[in-house]
Amino acid sequence: MNQTTCNIAVIRGDGIGGDVTDAALAVIEAARVRTGGFRLACDDLAAGAACFRETGRDMAPGAEEACDRSDAILLGAIGLPSVRHTDGTEISPHLRLRERFQLYAGVRPVKAYPNAPRRLADPRAAAIDLVILRESTEGLFHTAAATGREIVQTDDEVEDVLRITRATSEKLFDFAFRLAEKRRQRGGKGAVTCVDKANVFRSMAFFRKVFDERKAAFPDIAVSYNYVDAQALDLIRRPWEFDVLVMENMFGDILSDLAGGLVGGMGMAACAEVGDAQALFQPAHGSAPDIMGRDSANPLAAILSGALMLDYLADKAGGHQGLADAAALIEAAVERGFEADRLRPMEFGGDMGTRAMTREVIGIIGEA
Ligand code: ATP
């Protein structure tokens, strides 16, 4: 197998970000030792609230350009409640990276693991395995404060703009269908649900129209539609029936947290943000300042985000077997670890902190 070097921009960030990033990198290294065929060249970049407090900049000089040169970005967490810009907004260089690289596809896998907490009593909840695919560059966030775009505001009224473009929607839907195809090869349902509010908003009717145009190119994927309010209900009533759910930015923001809550806590929520030429991988949780420095954070969201990164790099390298196998090894180790009750995160009342969890995942990979 050819030896591929992947250049990774690593941003540990704030709070528990450093601990969970170290966990992800250690687990990736254990998987790499098993599969071979690649190495990661990591470029550590300072960014975040602590960086801002110490230097007056939210990213070290040259860090954004270093991200340009990398094959992927691995991020821990950004933000500290005590550190803000003078206008009161949070330090958020990662949102700038999302803009810079047009990371339109926000991927949030939601999977039930054995022995991990479940919020639904129905035994079928054990089969929850879906992805919330959130468009992440436009929609109702088009004029959000973080984008710096103009909004209409007087002392009497204010408007935000919900923007849907054909170009981004086409890419988003193609991504959704390809993701469903890939998941089907791994035993998934091969289905995409378009979640919208096409009965009320012209923007959403347009979203659905583009979805219908793109689905023709993927005849093997089953499609369905759901209004967002009905989808919220169905995520409680029958979440095990869904596969890939694709939606506008704001809808995805809300439903991804709801869906994540069905299968545990923030410490399980992995996330990928993917664009045409770059992608950023980070746990969906924040810097959790309330538990920082205690070795109690659940590192699995970061570890599973690391697996998503390897999978992305495998595709980017034209189907690299070592990278794909390493991703699969990590996912299987987490599954087996929960099954055998060997992964008991403190987040769920267990006795294992960040380092113990990381060691256990590495141990399971070593036994594979
Ligand atoms: P942000 O706005 O950046 O998302 P936040 O404060 O809203 O930040 P988090 O930092 O994710 O959200 O923290 C929310 C709660 O979840 C906190 O009580 C935190 O301790 C907990 N939490 C977050 N991540 C983890 C983790 N990996 N392990 C255990 N608990 C976590």
Report CA(284)–ligand 1 centroid distance (Å). Answer: 9
User: How many angstroms separate the CA atoms of 309 and 63, rounded?
Assistant: 20
- In the reported structure, the alpha carbon of residue 30 is separated from the centroid of ligand 1 by a whole-number distance in angstroms of 27
Residue of the CA atom closest to atom 26 of ligand 1: 267
297 CA to centre of own chain = 18
Distance (angstroms) between ligand 1 centre and the Cα of 5 equals 33
Ligand 1: which residue has its CA nearest to atom 19? 288
pLDDT at 2: 60
2 versus 259: the higher-pLDDT residue is 259
Q: Give me the phi and psi of 109, to 5 degrees please.
A: -70, 140
52-80 pLDDT, tens digit per residue, is: 999 999 999 999 999 999 999 999 999 99
- Within 10 angstroms of residue 263's Cβ, the number of other Cβ atoms is 24
Sequence-distant (6+) residues with CB within 8 A of 125 are: 112, 118, 119, 239, 240, 262
Instruction: Map out the domains of the chain as residue ranges.
Output: 1-103+276-368, 118-262
Q: What is the pLDDT of residues 251-262, one digit of tens each?
A: 999 999 999 999
What is the position in ligand 1's atom list of the atom closest to the CA of 20?
Answer: 27
Query: Which residue is listed with tokens 């089907």?
Result: 184
Cα of 23 from ligand 1 centre, angstroms: 17
141 alpha carbon – ligand 1 mean position (Å)? 22
The ligand 1 atom nearest the CA atom of 300: 27
For residue 289, report the distance from its CA to the centre of ligand 1, in Å: 8
Q: How far apart are CA 246 and CA 249, in angstroms?
A: 10
pLDDT digits (tens, 9 = 90+) for 179-213: 999 999 999 999 999 999 999 999 999 999 999 99
Q: What is the mean pLDDT of residues 294-318?
A: 97
Task: Assign domain 118-262 to a CATH class.
Answer: alpha beta
User: How far is the C-alpha of 273 from the C-alpha of 173, rounded, in Å?
Assistant: 15
- Report DSSP letters for 329-340, one per residue: HHHHHHHHHHHT
d(CA 136, CA 282): 14
* Distance (Å) from CA 118 to ligand 1 centroid: 18
Taking CA atoms only, the protein residue closest to ligand 1 atom 20 is 288
Given CATH 3.40.718.10, say whether it is the number of domain 1-103+276-368.
yes
pLDDT one-digit tens code per residue, 127-153 = 999 999 999 999 999 887 777 787 888
* End-to-end Cα spacing for the chain: 20
Tokens describing residue 292: 């920082």
pLDDT of residue 150: 77
CA 288 to ligand 1: nearest atom? 10
- Beta-strand runs (E) in the chain: 4-13, 38-44, 72-77, 105-111, 129-135, 152-153, 158-159, 191-196, 222-227, 244-247, 272-274, 279-281
The strand order across the sheet containing 105-111 reads 38-44, 4-13, 72-77, 279-281, 272-274, 105-111, 129-135, 244-247, 191-196, 222-227
CA atoms of 7 and 36, how far apart (whole Å)? 16
Ligand 1 pocket test target in 12, 21, 108, 266 with most atoms within 8 Å of CB: 266
- pTM for this structure? 0.95
- For atom 4 of ligand 1, the residue with the nearest CA is 286
- In this prediction, what percent of the chain has a pLDDT beyond 70? 99
Q: Tokens standing for 204?
A: 């959403």
The full DSSP string for 109-172 is EEE--TTS--S--SGGGGG-EEEEEEE-SSBTTTT-GGGT---EE-SS-EE---B--HHHHHHH
Give which of 243, 297, 308 is closest to 271, Cα–Cα. 308
Q: Do domains 1-103+276-368 and 118-262 have the same CATH topology?
A: yes
How much is the pLDDT for 1?
46
The Cα 327–Cα 325 span in angstroms is 5
pLDDT at 206: 98
**Residue position matching structure tokens 């990213």:** 59
pLDDT of residue 289 exceeding 60 = yes
**Which of 285, 294, 343, 344 most suits a substitution to test ligand 1, by most atoms within 8 Å of the C-beta?**
285
Which residues approach ligand 1 with their CB closer than 6 A?
16, 79, 266-267, 285-288, 290-291, 297-298, 301, 347
What letter would DSSP give residue 91?
Answer: P
| Residue 285 CA, ligand 1 centroid: distance in Å | 5
- Torsion (CA) 84, 89, 94, 95 in degrees, nearest 10: -170
Mean pLDDT score of the chain:
95
* 16 CA: nearest ligand 1 atom: 27
With 70 as the cut, is the pLDDT of residue 249 above it?
yes
Q: Which ligand 1 atom minimizes the distance to the CA of 78?
A: 3
